[in-house]
Amino acid sequence: MKTIRIKIEGNVQGVFFRQSAQEKAISLGIKGTVKNCEDDSVEIVATGTKEQLDKLVTWCWEGPPKAVVANVTTQELSLQQFHYFSIVRF
């Protein structure tokens, strides 16, 4: 198991990206969080197997139908434990 941070840039807010990411993560068995950032990007912190996380990153390049993804970056973090995958709202 490992934890990564995924930053998705482009037209990714207001297009159901967080909800779609949550549904995808749950379907893959990934736990973590997704949130909108002040710089109009979306950030996911996800814990799962390498294979699960690779599938989520691949999905992030597409996102939901109305999203226009310009860039996806990942960073490995120290292992974090989550009970489920949730949307963080401010």
Antiparallel, parallel or unpaired: β 42-48 and 85-88: unpaired
pTM recorded for the entire structure: 0.97
Give the pLDDT score at 79.
98
Exactly one of 5, 11, 36, 71 is catalytic; name it: 36
Tell which CATH architecture fits domain 2-88. Answer: 2-Layer Sandwich (3.30)
Domain ranges of the chain: 2-88
Give the pLDDT score at 77.
98
Q: Measure CA 27 to chain center.
A: 13
Exactly one of 5, 11, 18, 89 is catalytic; name it: 18
In the residue annotation, 36 being an active-site residue is answered as yes
What token pair was written down for 42? Answer: 């979306």
Give the pLDDT score at 15.
97
Run of H or E including 53: helix 50-60
What distance in Å separates the CA atoms of residue 72 and residue 61, rounded to the nearest whole number?
A: 7
What token pair was written down for 15? Answer: 């297009």
Q: What is the pLDDT along the chain (90 residues), one digit of tens a residue?
A: 999 999 999 999 999 999 999 999 999 999 999 999 999 999 999 999 999 999 999 999 999 999 999 999 999 999 999 999 999 997
